[in-house]
Amino acid sequence: MHRAWLLFLPLAFIELVGSLVVRARVPAEGDWHLAADHIAAEWAEGDEVTVAPRWADPLLRQALGASMGDAFTNELAAPAGLEGRTRLWVVSIRGRNSALTPNGAPEHVESFGRVRVERYALGGRPLLFDFVDAIEAAEGSRGDRACTRTTGRASGGGLGAGPVLAPSRLSCGGEMVAETVIEDLHFEARRCIAQHPVSGDPVVLRFPEATLGELLMVHAGLHWVDERMLEGSPVTLTVRAGETEIGTITHHDGDGWATYPLTVPPESRGAQVVSFEVTSEQSAGRSFCWAARALGGAP
């Protein structure tokens, strides 16, 4: 019977060696930079990049920032979705896989030390128009008053302070509409247009030179703190092409960053004035943010 106690000695050995193995398997910082240099060298318009596991995201961003410079943008770091993208780079460590990884084999695989790089062809619908990219050309109104564009510097910040708006904003009767990056219900970064419901006349945002195709892919959500209690009023986004309603989506607390595909009727395709109107019974704590991409026909 007493011999069973001896098992603690190999257990101690296993724990000690196991801890050393964990440390030995940590990717070197140089591995991340080599991987990022490779991606930067092969980068093409329409590419997107993601990392697995998600907690390694700062390491990838640091390395890509060093390799790609200003070409590594908020748009890449905080994607609203993958539609319209042509290729996806998946950078991984520890044998993990990204939830974004498409089915099928990668078209390219290479390892840099303990960092693995895969590239997938996405082959989806072509991107015709990105509304977040076009925010600078947007106009807004609230009731019969036009919004005015203001430019300053981004302000705010700090835990609990909520999303910081881009310096260039539309001021609509005290309500600001602008590009931002929110922390969604699952703490992911989402680049989108902050357009909050207001009491009284809603803010209407118009894109006078938009182009619509077969599909309008809308994503929407709220800053996580405003959505996590699951007790806020639903928020409705109505999309129109000219006077024609393309669709209405309703976001409920708990939906998180949700995707709403809207089929565009044939008569509304092509160059259009596209407008977005956000309403809700409640205005406080409704940090609604949306992104939309107009897509062409399926390949």
Partner 1 sequence: MHTATQRPSRIGARDHLIGAALTAAYVAVLLATSSTLGMARDEGFYVEAAESYAGWWRLFLSGDESAFDQATIDRFWTVNHEHPSLPKSLFALSYLAHERFDLFSNDSAAFRFPGMVMSGLVLWILYLFGARAYSRHVGLFAASAYALIPTVFYHAHLDCFDGPIVTMLTWVTYLYWRSLTEPRFAVLGGIAYGLCLETKHNAWILPLVLLVHFVGFVVPAELAARRAGARPKISLRPNWLIGFALLGPPIFLALWPWLWSDTIQRFGEYAGFHLNHVHYNTEFLGTTYFGAPSPTSFPWVETLFTVPLVTVALGVLGIVVRFRAMLPPGTLRIWPARADGSSIGPDAQRTDALLFGAMLAPMVVLSMPWTPIFGGNKHFLVAFANLAIFAGIASQYVLHAVRAELKEARPRWLPVAFPAVFLALLAPSIHETEHSHPFGLSHYTFMAGGPPGAADLGMMRQFWGFTTGSLAPWFNAHAPEGSSVWLCDTIPTSFEMLHRDALLRRDIRAAYDMGSADYAIVHHETHFNEVDYQIWMSWGRPAPVHVLTYDGVPIVSVYENPHR
Residues that bind partner 1 (CB under 8 A): 1-6, 8-9, 11-13, 15-16, 18-20, 22-23, 25-27, 29, 53, 55-59, 61-62, 64-66, 70, 72-74, 76-78, 93-94, 96, 153-166, 179-183, 187-189, 223-225, 228
182 three-state secondary structure: strand
Nearer to partner 1 (CB atom), residue 59 or residue 294 = 59
The residue among 156 and 174 lying less far from partner 1, judged by its C-beta, is: 156
- Choice between 125 and 190, CB closer to partner 1: 190
Sequence-separated (6 or more) residues with CB below 8 Å from residue 103: none
Determine how many CB atoms are found less than 10 A away from the CB of residue 7: 9
Q: Cβ atoms within 10 A of the Cβ of 250, count?
A: 15
- Least distance between partner 1 and beta carbon 151 (Å): 13
Of 20 and 146, the one with the shorter C-beta distance to partner 1 is 20
**Least spacing, CB of residue 224 vs partner 1, in Å:** 8
Nearer to partner 1, 104 or 153 (CB): 153
Angle at 208 (CA atoms; ends 258, 148), nearest 5 degrees: 90
Q: In angstroms, what is the minimal distance from the CB of 107 to partner 1?
A: 26
Closest distance between partner 1 and the C-beta of residue 254, in Å?
Answer: 14
Nearest approach, Cβ of residue 27 and partner 1 (Å): 6
If one counts every other C-beta atom within 10 angstroms of the C-beta of residue 106, the result is 17
What six digits make up the tokens of 48?
A: 């997107």
Taking the C-alpha atoms of residue 50 and residue 61, their distance in angstroms, rounded to an integer, is: 10
Of the pair 55, 263, the CB lying nearest partner 1 is at 55
Beta carbons of 179 and 166 less than 8 angstroms apart: yes
CB of 119 to partner 1, least distance (A): 20
Three-state secondary structure of 272-294: EEEEEEEEECCCCCCCEEEEEEE
State the SS3 of 185-204. Answer: CCCCEEEEEECCCCCCCCEE
Omega prior to 163 cis, within 30 of 0? no
Q: Which is nearer to partner 1, 131 or 277 (CB)?
A: 131
CB of 231 to partner 1, least distance (A): 12
